[in-house]
Structure 1
Amino acid sequence: MSQLDSNWSFVDDNKVTPKGFLFAGISAGLKASKKKDLALIFAPEGSVFTGMFTQSIVRASCVDICEERIKTTSGFVRAILINSGQANACTGNLGIQHFQIATGKIAELLGIKEEEVLMCSTGVIGVPIQINDLVKNLPNLVSDLKGNNIQNAAEAILTTDLTLKKVSIETIIQGRKIKISGFAKGSGMIYPNMATMLAFLTCDAGIKKEEWDKMIAIAVKKSFNAISVDGETSTNDSFIGINAGEKIEKRFFPIIQQGIDIVCQNLAKNIARDGEGANCLLEVLVQGAKNIDDAIKLAKSICNSALVKTAIHGCDPNWGRIISAAGNSGVKFNLNHVDLYIGNAQILENGKLNKYDPQKVTDYIKSRMNGRYLVDDIVKIMINLKSGEYKGTAWGCDLSKKYVEINSEYTT
């Protein structure tokens, strides 16, 4: 267990997960690789669900149906079935039928109502689910349900990901342990406007729907909606947060919010870090903004710039690309007030070029390109606009030849 700079501590999710939640993940033969491809989350009775979904107008039918079921049940859902390998997007009525068949069967096996089951899919757009293989393996999936089984579920939702993305934390409130766990997938097609991104969060502190909705929206703004791998929003992006358990007093909500933020930001950064073909995590902090929306918007503009991303990949200290991306963000600021840093090197001071050693900046970026998930694999950029009191952070990654290779051969 490691201590965070907060009320929360990281815990081993093979031993500790939110009370009452069950997880499963198996191979149902949906992927040619025969890797795990079918996951299930089963929540306690009385659980409260909140979902945030892709803002693309081209959406998989599962997204629309999930959104509708959360609305019609007032968030009182019980299960999420997740398949990888086929996005089941742009598949017309067949996609809807497959959703209904799958959720109806899993509801029967779990002894709950069909409208209490959500379904999320990820994979190749335009390819329907291999529904016979899926349905045939649902009893095996239910048999795999266990409390401390996030590992299997997290493995089963991956596509082009190279690494698992999961995290669990806990704290003590009024003598009771509160736990929050989350897992996600995403590597390419990442620019959530709530990339092909799926993420799920469970919490064993009971919170009413109205307050839970607010908490999840706040966390998503500062995490999944603050990352970019390639500027591409998917048809299937979904984030679902679930709480269940003994009700917690409102005065402790800030602590719960802090925990949700930690889990969401951890998962979001790992999605950006695992960007297809990426070698490092890019972190852009904008300070001195007029509001948090402006700060995140400008930071995302820099993370999303192909010119910035290729410069980072080439370890090129081309600060002009950074400031140009800031100017294209749509956020108004006065360049004559702006400070710009790459790592510890100050490039601009009040909009004027500062004395710095370009080679040291190159060496700094190179030192961060040693591989993913190292302590020092983060290239940090900071801009102070000096226009206000707000700050925001966004995350991205470098853009490499490997990204082109992966995506030019995605379906072949």
Structure 2
Amino acid sequence: MFSVASDAKITFPNGFVAAGMHAGIKRKRPDLGLLVCEVPASVAAVYTTNAFQAAPLKVTQESLGAGRRIQAIVVNSGIANACTGRKGLEDAYQMRKKTADLLGIPEHFVAVASTGVIGEYLPMERVEQGLDQLVPRLQKGDDKFAQAILTTDTCTKQVAVELQIDGKCVRIAGVAKGSGMIKPNMATMLAFITTDAVIDSDVLQSLLWKETDLSFNMITVDGDTSTNDMVITMASNLAGNQPLGRNHPEWNQFRAAFAYVCEELAKMIARDGEGATRLIEVKVAGAGSDETARKVAKAVVGSNLVKAAIYGADANWGRIVCAAGYGAPDLNADAVEVRLGEIPVVREGLPLPFDELEAEKELKKETVRITLDLHQGNGCATAWGCDLTYEYVRINASYRT
């Protein structure tokens, strides 16, 4: 299958270099990043479904639509460049042009991403001066790029794997940011995935759509869908394998490795939710369909009452079944089974006696696992989230100031 790499940097696959630095968009900490492929790369992307799509998304969609190849992604944090009108769009285009000019590539080979405060203009002089300094810093094994995309995150989020395809070493790596405003609805955070596999853009797009639904679209921190965020995947096609697709004999191995990268990044985002102390994993089995299972899992993991109960280590299973019921109103309440970790608390829709102290221990673990069996079919799904804490309110009460 695949092995997890210890060098989990976005430049792990062949053909990629990156850099990050503090350009002065934020008071301190890296805030400008650049990821570059040495050749035009196959590309795929998914975007937030928020009606207020930020200027960088519009520019990036135009770039990707121009030829289904890109060679660079320029990213800033601190200011989202969202709800900024004509000037914001001009600034996003200028970021694209400046990057293209410095790299000597066509403008439509550059994607643009921004994250941060909504409704403020980018300090373009600082951005352009930063890019002048950033390009000479591009290198293999860079770690600053992962730092430059962060906002309220407490840590970088990176993962990498490698596997054999056609006897060739194929590598996949991913980096993400996301801590608040996380309820993906296509892709509500910034995530960038690189691979050196030989794969066409259309195949890559189909794969990304599917795996996004099973990973990034199955996390929630606070129920808010952002204006800015996206997932972009680039393939340098330098690994030397035969072109990948559904008919390739080792397609399933590649798909599993790609899915692992997406899922690990998604869990890292959920685990690092603003103010969070625990990762919540909700598994639903026995649903009438996978879609029903997804709705139930996301309803439970997104319930503020469930999240607050887990913060307090309160085994209030009533909140779980309540969320499941509004997640799928047609489920058979008399068949539902619920477990906290390995502790059964509900069977056939009725409460079971359980040890409150043992349940409290389960709810104090770093990862809290909730399992529901609906006993109505073979559908299954897993969703991830985090607990709701006082710290979340403190962070978001003063985010802009």
TM-score range, shorter chain: over 0.9
- Of 95, 103, 119 in structure 2, the residue corresponding to residue 110 of structure 1 is 103
* Pick aligned residue for 1:49 from 43, 56, 59: 43
Instruction: Tell me whether 225-234 or 244-253 shows the greater mean CA deviation.
Output: 244-253
* Superposed counterparts of 1:57-72, under 5 Å: 57-72=51-66
Match of 1:307 among 305, 308, 312: 305
Deviation at 1:89, TM superposition (A): 0.2
- Structure 2 residue 346 is the aligned partner of structure 1 residue 394: no
- Which aligned pairs between 1:81-92 and structure 2 lie closer than 5 A? 81-92=74-85
Q: Residue 55 of structure 1 contacts residue 194 of structure 1 at CA under 8 Å; is this kept in 2?
A: yes
Aligned to 2:14: 19
Q: C-alpha separation between the residues in 2 aligned to 1:224 and 1:14?
A: 19
Task: Assess if the C-alpha contact under 8 Å between 2:15 and 2:39 holds in 1.
Answer: no
- Within the candidate set 100, 123, 139, 2:132 is matched to 139
Structure 2: how far apart are the matches of 1:72 and 1:115?
6
- Deviation string for 1:328-348 (max 9, x for gaps)? 113531111111001111011
**Aligned amino acid, residue 220 of structure 1:** T
Mapped to 1, the partners of 2:284 and 2:173 lie a distance apart of 29
User: How far apart are the structure 2 equivalents of 1:251 and 1:331?
Assistant: 41
Read off the aligned partner of 1:83 and give its amino acid letter.
N
Give the conservation status (yes or no) of the 8 Å contact 1:294–1:331. no
CA separation of 1:44/1:252 partners in 2, compared to 1, >3 Å: closer, same or farther? farther
1:230-268 Cα offsets, whole Å, 9 max, x none, are: 000000121011112134342222111111111111111
* CA-CA distance at 1:390 after TM superposition: 2.3
> Matches of 1:386 and 1:353 in 2, distance apart?
16
Q: What's 1:174 paired with?
A: 166
Aligned residues, how many?
A: 395
**Segments ≥4 residues shifted beyond 4 Å:** none
Question: Percent identical across equivalent pairs?
Answer: 39
Residue of 23, 29, 33 corresponding to 1:28 = 23
Distance change in 2, residues 1:162/1:187 (3 Å) = same
Unaligned runs of 5+ in 2: none
Give how far 1:350 is off: 1.9
1:196 to partner: Cα distance: 5.7
In the TM superposition, residue 293 of structure 1 has moved relative to its aligned partner by: 2.1
What secondary structure is seen at the aligned counterpart in 2 of 1:287? strand
- Counterpart residue number, 1:407: 396
Counterparts of 1:126-205 in structure 2, within 5 Å, are: 126-149=119-142, 151-194=143-186, 197-205=189-197
**Cα separation, 2, equivalents of 1:387 and 1:13:** 41
Closer/same/farther in 2, CA of residues 302 and 380 from structure 1, 3 Å limit = same
* Code of the aligned partner of 1:131: M
Alignment of 1:140-289 (within 5 A): 140-149=133-142, 151-194=143-186, 197-245=189-237, 246=240, 247-249=242-244, 250-289=248-287
Give unmatched runs, 5+ long, in structure 1. 1-5, 369-376
Contact 2:187 2:212 in 1 (8 A): no
The equivalent residue for 2:342 is: 344
Q: Distance in 2 between matches of 1:385 and 1:15?
A: 40
Mapped to 1, the partners of 2:172 and 2:361 lie a distance apart of 39
Distance 2:187 2:168 in 1: 36
Matched, 1:95 2:93: no
TM-aligned CA deviation for residue 172 of structure 1: 1.7
- Asked if the contact 2:200–2:243 (Cα under 8 Å) also holds between the matched residues in 1, the reply is no
Taking the aligned partners of 2:264 and 2:153, their CA distance within structure 1 comes to 16
Please say if residues 87 and 125 of structure 1, whose CA atoms lie closer than 8 Å, have aligned partners that are also in contact: yes
Question: SS in structure 1 opposite 2:203?
Answer: helix
- Letter of the aligned partner of 1:42 in structure 2? V
Aligned to 1:371: none
**Counterpart-to-counterpart distance in 2, 1:248 and 1:398:** 43
Give me the CA root mean square deviation. 1.5
- Residues 398 and 14 (structure 1 numbering): CA distance in 2 closer, same or farther, change over 3 Å? closer
Match of 1:380 in 2: 369
What is the CA-CA distance between 1:315 and the residue it aligns to?
Answer: 0.6
- In 2, Cα distance between the equivalents of 1:96 and 1:318? 48
* 1:217 Cα deviation from its structure 2 partner: 1.0
Distance in structure 2 (CA, Å) of the matches to 1:22 and 1:86: 24
Cα deviations by residue, 1:258-292 (Å, 9 ceiling, x for unpaired): 11111111111010100111100000000112222
Q: Normalising by structure 2, what TM-score?
A: 0.95
Paired residue type of 2:3:
W
Question: What SS class does the counterpart of residue 332 from structure 1 fall into?
Answer: coil
Deviation at 1:39, TM superposition (A): 0.6
In 1, Cα distance between equivalents of 2:340 and 2:131? 51
Secondary structure of the structure 2 residue equivalent to 1:248? coil
Single out whichever of 183-192 and 355-364 deviates more from structure 2: 355-364
Deviation string, structure 1 residues 291-348 (Cα, Å, up to 9, x no partner) = 2222122111111101000000011110000000011113531111111001111011
What residue identity is the alignment partner of 1:45?
V
Match of 1:296 in 2: 294
Partner in structure 2 of residue 353 of structure 1: 351
CA distance in 2, matches of 1:15, 1:42: 10
Amino acid at match of 1:288: G
Q: Distance in 2 between matches of 1:408 and 1:194?
A: 27
